[in-house]
Structure 1
Amino acid sequence: MKRFPDRSEAERAAQSPFLSTFTTSPAFSETSRYGNFRFTFPLTELMEAYKNQKCDGQEPVLRVFGTRLFKQEIEYVVLVHSPQSDEQFRDIPLLTSTSSPVVAYDRHQITWKAQAICETHHFQLETSGKTVEIQNKHPFQFYVWDHVSFVFHTKGMLTFPKKKLKASLSCLDLDPKVNLSCGENCSSLEAAKSFLKTLVDDEDGEEHA
């Protein structure tokens, strides 16, 4: 912990975990606002697929598309496009290692410098010797939460092998407060897991994502 760089091993062991108490925004939630199922891909894998399928093997271009403000949410939007579309998006600033205080792009690496990782909460950290403790704080503290969205400019969808898509698919409980899903949801997490088991692997087929 940077606050106590000279702590001994015993002092480190005495520190109780606390990060999960503060990482409570939807960006870190194990529940879903968009239905029972979620595809999870490493961003590098999506970029590689976009590079090969939409950029003729050239490196994609990333730009700072904008910031969207909501009542309790800040969304930073990054545009990803092929080099062939440079003229179309030339007025939008490129995303580099220094062009944004929140998101950085350098040597194929994306860095998100999260500014707000929790929603409304009533905790604060108190220093006690060379450890920190979680203390209840009243009244409630209201915060906005932030996240980064990557928008891929394309006239058609990316394709992945069906087996890869199934391996990237997971089941989640629905967020009890916010439902942004379109269509029907499963009656429970167990029902979603049962449905997932019915999907058949197809190593040769491809699906859009």
Structure 2
Amino acid sequence: MSMRTNARNVVETYFEGEHLSLSDLKEEYIPHRYLFKNNIPAYPESVEFYVEKLSHVTGKRGLKGILKDSGFRQPSDRSHFLWWELWVTSDEICSAEERLLTSLFPRTRIRNQLPFLEYFTTSKAFQNGSPYGNFRFTFSIRELLYHYGSQFCPGNSPVLRVYETVLYRQEILYAIVVHPRNIHCYDDYPRLPYDDFGVCGYANKSIGWRCQAPSQTYMHRLNVNWKHGSVHISTGDEQYYVWDHVCVAFHMEPGWVLHVDQDRLFKRLNVCEVSHPCLLKPPESPLSLHRAENFLSSLKAREGYDRAWY
């Protein structure tokens, strides 16, 4: 366990080369306001997602830079990383719900079960909004690995490794690093498990994630009827707890640009609301959803737009 202050002047507790589960973190006896709360209502404590897409969110200025470069480069905060987050779809939530029911009732045929996981997948990991800006690029993991491998890993495929677990005030971040085989600064970090995994793994062109804290605030209780093989939801008082999510960090050397052609960039681009707390760095500022949509519509209407716009 180590401590550091990040570029946003926030203190981080981090564990290099490990993806520590919620129970593992508790065993570390870290002084933490939320981690050891014992009044959290029953909820799905281990939900297995298989996620096929990643998203990268930026502000208006960042969007201009990406379109100008026709791709993504490392930020100017001395980091070697280009960060992406898991983008969990509604279909993937439904599939996770089916797996959870099967694990609860392996010998029971589930009938007429109302959806329930949507009551718990309410943390920022599942929301459309983002604190990082109004403009979201969404790519499949397969496509990103292809572009990265073809540009920076000639003759080889990129390597995925367990990078670290980072604990914040109310957030647990599991970071995965992707790098070329000829970059050896990550050799001491374990490979990301291919199939059988604890917190995170990679299989069948998807990242497997065993989510342990899907909500940021809990006001619903999961009630399991073992006799009838069903679950239902009840409502109680609101309780705050930690939430967990996964990010993928692509190693980028100074001057590297992960190139993607303009048409594909526009096809993968959508707008989103800026969620609280806003983490855009000045002079960036959040736009209303209406203004962001109008701005993007005007860009998409320009086929072969004027370079002077920059």
Considering the TM-score relative to the shorter chain, is it more than 0.5?
A: yes
Q: How does 1:163-182 map to 2 (within 5 A)?
A: 163-175=263-275, 177-182=276-281
| CA drift at 1:201 | 3.6
Residue matched to 1:80: 178
| CA drift at 1:109 | 4.3
Q: Is the 8 A contact 1:104 1:111 kept in 2?
A: yes
Choose the corresponding residue for 2:261, options 161, 180, 183: 161
Residue matched to 2:138: 40
Sort the Cα spacing of 1:160 and 1:6 in 2 relative to 1 into closer, same or farther, 3 A: same
Are positions 1:118 and 2:231 aligned together? no
- Amino acid across the alignment from 2:119: T
SS across alignment from 1:113: strand
Deviation track 1:104-156 (CA, whole Å, cap 9, x = no partner) reads 13465431121211111111122454432210123x33321111111111221
Q: How does 1:39-188 map to 2 (within 5 A)?
A: 39-85=137-183, 87-97=184-194, 101-106=198-203, 109-127=206-224, 129-138=228-237, 140-155=238-253, 156-175=256-275, 177-182=276-281, 183-186=284-287, 188=288
- Amino acid across the alignment from 1:189: L
| CA drift at 1:168 | 0.7
Choose the corresponding residue for 2:125, options 27, 42, 47: 27
Deviation track 1:25-82 (CA, whole Å, cap 9, x = no partner) reads 1010021211111111111111111000010141111111111110111111111111
| CA drift at 1:202 | 4.5
| Greater mean alpha carbon deviation, residues 19-28 or residues 177-186 | 177-186
- Distance in 2, matches of 1:99 and 1:179, equals 37
- Amino acid across the alignment from 1:181: L
SS across alignment from 2:211: coil
* Aligned structure 1 segments of 4 or more residues deviating by more than 4 angstroms: 106-109
Identity %: 37
| Greater mean alpha carbon deviation, residues 98-107 or residues 27-36 | 98-107
Unmatched tracts of structure 2, length 5 or more: 1-100
Sort the Cα spacing of 1:194 and 1:43 in 2 relative to 1 into closer, same or farther, 3 A: same
Unmatched tracts of structure 1, length 5 or more: none
Q: Is the 8 A contact 2:141 2:206 kept in 1?
A: no
Q: Is the 8 A contact 1:37 1:171 kept in 2?
A: yes
Residue matched to 2:71: none
Choose the corresponding residue for 1:6, options 108, 112, 121: 108
| CA drift at 1:100 | 5.4
Sort the Cα spacing of 1:193 and 1:107 in 2 relative to 1 into closer, same or farther, 3 A: closer
SS across alignment from 2:247: strand
Q: Is the 8 A contact 1:73 1:145 kept in 2?
A: yes
The total of aligned residue pairs comes to 196
- Distance in 1, matches of 2:214 and 2:266, equals 30
- Amino acid across the alignment from 1:134: I
SS across alignment from 1:31: coil
Q: Is the 8 A contact 1:166 1:201 kept in 2?
A: no
